[in-house]
Amino acid sequence: MSEHKKLTTASGIPYYYHEDTLSAGPRGPLLLQDFILHEKMAHFNRERIPERVVHAKGSGAYGTFTVTNDITKYTRAKLFNRAGKQTRVFMRFSTVGGERGSADTERDPRGFAMKFYTEDGNWDLVGNNTPIFFIKDPKKFDDFIHTQKRDPHTHCKSPAMMWDFWSLNPESLHQVMFLMSDRGTPYSYRHMHGFGSHTFSFINADNKRHWVKFHFKTAQGIKNFTNDEAVKMKGEDPDWAQRDLVTAIAKGDFPKWYVKVQIMTEDQAKIYKWNPFDLTKVWPHKDFPLMDVGVIELNENPQNYFAEVEQAAFAPAHVVDGISYSPDKMLQGRILSYPDAHRYRLGSNYEQIPVNRCPFAVNNYQRDGMMRVDGNSGSAPNYFPNSFDSIKPDEGYKQPSWVLDSNVADWYSRNAEGENDHYTQPGIFYREVLSDYDKKNLVNNIVGAMKGIEGPKRDEIINRQLCHFFRADIGLGMAIAQGLGADMSSLQQHMPAKHEAVTI
């Protein structure tokens, strides 16, 4: 007879009655003393933790980052220090606006979050499948996300809210065009690019700083759903992207991304025509060519979704020596907000959860807190400096000083003169990057989405947004206006006096 495991309570007490509750008579009331019933119900009632306020629905996997090219003249980060070097990674992909059970093929940006378990600690690069974003000041993030969630009155998604916000925030146009193209409905997480999106810095062995953008090009090739296909898939298999990723990895068809960087010197940044720290802009490739760095392969499915994917916590604050921040205002805001969100959702000791834990040395004086489960550093001293342990801050990790351009503190307008070219890059995107097929789908997708705008402000919102499309490209504006059956004479009234695209 094979030996079986005994069924136990959470405290390890073997028990027998798992399905029938203690009751007074076979048809009588239950007795309070059957604590197994309480334990089962009470734990079940507490199974849900707060879902992420954004990026709630996601999929994750482990893999390997392998260096293929030498970039040590730009960064001393140890994970890049020799060709062939491998670092374990965990990646999580997600949609943004939907809830934890929402459909994977929603039109939405996709999160592209990476955790590199380096010997110098965990480096989290928390990007998207787009190189840009809707806003460039983090103070606007909560307002923006509210428009992507549910109307507080109807509790339905509201095209009026979305387009009202976008039309009142012209800096969003570039990302709106990415979102409305077919890349807003990727076929699967395997078939999309990833971007670190923000500008970061690389620090080399001589303490010299370069600005850097990270790109992750899918080796599977770009593949998108059309709008109709994406809508159909929402009904057929809302978990399509999760199933696609788990199935591919389980059968050994490991997805890969080529890791590339763009580099800008500090001097180039001072005179570049666009603000290199503005998250609504890209750095054009011809000015800042892509350089090869390495390859990421995902090759291991998590064993347990909740433990490893739901509890995975990424923070742009977590950079390792050789990689640092930039004055990108959105990055600066995220440095604070991500660890704050994890402390709320997972608790102050979230970095002890195995998927988040650094597999190398963690030595510090943080102690106690809810759910401290790692032994709490035992009997070691809990203060610094002390005369007992051998932990010392290592001078090798000093950062170079940073000379700022201005020491005047003010609430600078994010769209002041010199920062207000919202139209040149979207225009280039439309005219030079999109094929005729892409253009047609972009226009149809925008028209379809804007047709959903309802309510007393409908015409005002549509006309205001049309002006932005016109400013990016007259042909694009015309095509969308015609698709919406817009009244061109009333549109004229809403067209701002200065309606040419701003050229620099």
Residues 195-254 that bind ligand NDP (CB under 6 A): 217, 222
Calpha distance 484→481 (Å, rounded): 5
Name which position in 155, 286, 392, 498 contacts ligand NDP (CB under 6 A): 286
Query: How far is Cα of residue 345 from the mean position of the Cα atoms in its chain?
Result: 17
Closest contact distance (angstroms) between CB of 261 and ligand NDP is 11
Contact pattern from residue 306 through residue 335 relative to ligand NDP, giving x for each residue in contact according to CB under 6 A and a dash for the rest: ------------------------------
DSSP codes joined into one string, 264-310: EEHHHHHH-SS-TT-TT----TTTS--EEEEEEEEEE--S-HIIIII
Nearer to ligand NDP, 391 or 434 (CB): 434
| Rounded CA separation 300/41 (Å) | 34
Q: Which residue has the tokens 């009244």?
A: 487
- According to the binding rule CB under 6 A, does residue 425 interact with ligand NDP? yes
Choose the stretch contacting ligand NDP; rule: CB under 6 A; options: 110-118, 196-204, 373-381, 425-433: 425-433
- Please choose, out of 177-185, 297-305, 308-316, 379-387, the segment that lies near ligand NDP by the rule CB under 6 A: 177-185
Strands 291-300 and 256-265, bridge-based pairing: antiparallel
Nearer to ligand NDP, 56 or 479 (CB): 479
Torsion sign across C-alpha atoms 217, 220, 225, 231 = negative
Q: Which of 65, 117, 178, 202 binds ligand NDP (CB under 6 A)?
A: 178
* Cα gap 38→484, rounded to integer Å: 58
State which of residues 55, 92, 115, 183 lies at the interface with ligand NDP (CB under 6 A): 183
* Pick 67 or 472: Cβ nearer ligand NDP: 472
**Contact status: 501 vs ligand NDP (CB under 6 A):** no
> H or E stretch including 203?
strand 200-203
Q: 69 with 83: CB under 8 angstroms?
A: yes
For the question of residue 349 being annotated catalytic, the response is no
Q: Which stretch binds ligand NDP (CB under 6 A): 24-32, 344-352, 392-400, 426-434?
A: 426-434
- The residue annotated as part of the active site, out of 4, 43, 45, 55, is 55
Q: Does 495 bind ligand NDP (CB under 6 A)?
A: no
What is the closest distance, in whole angstroms, from the C-beta atom of residue 286 to ligand NDP in the complex? 6
| Interacting residue with ligand NDP among 50, 101, 284, 455 (CB under 6 A) | 284
Q: Which residue, 62 or 166, is less far from ligand NDP as judged by CB? A: 166
Cβ 194 to ligand NDP shortest distance, Å: 11
What minimum distance in Å lies between the beta carbon of 217 and ligand NDP?
6
Q: Which residues of 434-471 are buried (b: 16+ CB within 10 A; e: fewer)?
A: beeebbebbbbbbbbbbeebeeeeeeebbbbbbbbbbb
- Which of 93, 134, 429, 470 lies at the binding interface for ligand NDP (CB under 6 A)? 429
> Both tokens of residue 366?
């943080």
Report the alpha-carbon distance of residue 311 to residue 307 in Å, rounded: 6
The CA-atom distances, in angstroms, between 83 and each of 66, 69, 209, 258, 411 are 8, 6, 22, 14, 45
How many whole angstroms separate alpha carbon 368 and alpha carbon 346? Answer: 15
**What number of other Cβ atoms are within 10 A of residue 50's Cβ?**
10
The question of whether 494 is a catalytic residue gets the answer: no
Smallest CA-to-CA distance from 336 within 309, 320, 350, 317 is with 317
The CA–CA distances, whole Å, from 498 to 138, 308, 470, 495 equal 28, 52, 12, 8
Q: In this chain, which of 87, 167, 181, 356 binds ligand NDP, going by CB under 6 A?
A: 181
User: 160 in helix, strand or coil?
Assistant: helix
| CB-nearer residue toward ligand NDP: 181 or 227 | 181
| Cα dihedral 100, 106, 111, 117 sign | positive
CA distances from 239 to 54, 65, 94, 251 (A): 18, 27, 11, 18
Count the residues of the shown chain that bind ligand NDP, applying the rule CB under 6 A.
17
| 132 versus 491: smaller Cβ distance to ligand NDP | 132
Choose which of 36, 145, 317, 434 interacts with ligand NDP (CB under 6 A): 434
* Least separation in angstroms between CB 50 and ligand NDP: 33
Segment 79 to 138, residues that bind ligand NDP, using CB under 6 A: 131
What DSSP element (H or E) covers 61? strand 58-67
Closer residue to ligand NDP (CB): 117 or 283: 283
- Nearest residue (CB) to ligand NDP, 146 versus 285: 285
E strands present in 119-188: 121-128
Q: Which of 358, 428, 447, 484 binds ligand NDP (CB under 6 A)?
A: 428
Q: Which of 38, 45, 128, 299 is catalytic?
A: 128
Residues that bind ligand NDP (CB under 6 A): 131, 178, 181, 183, 217, 222, 282-286, 425, 428-429, 433-434, 438
User: Which residues participate in catalysis according to the annotation?
Assistant: 55, 128
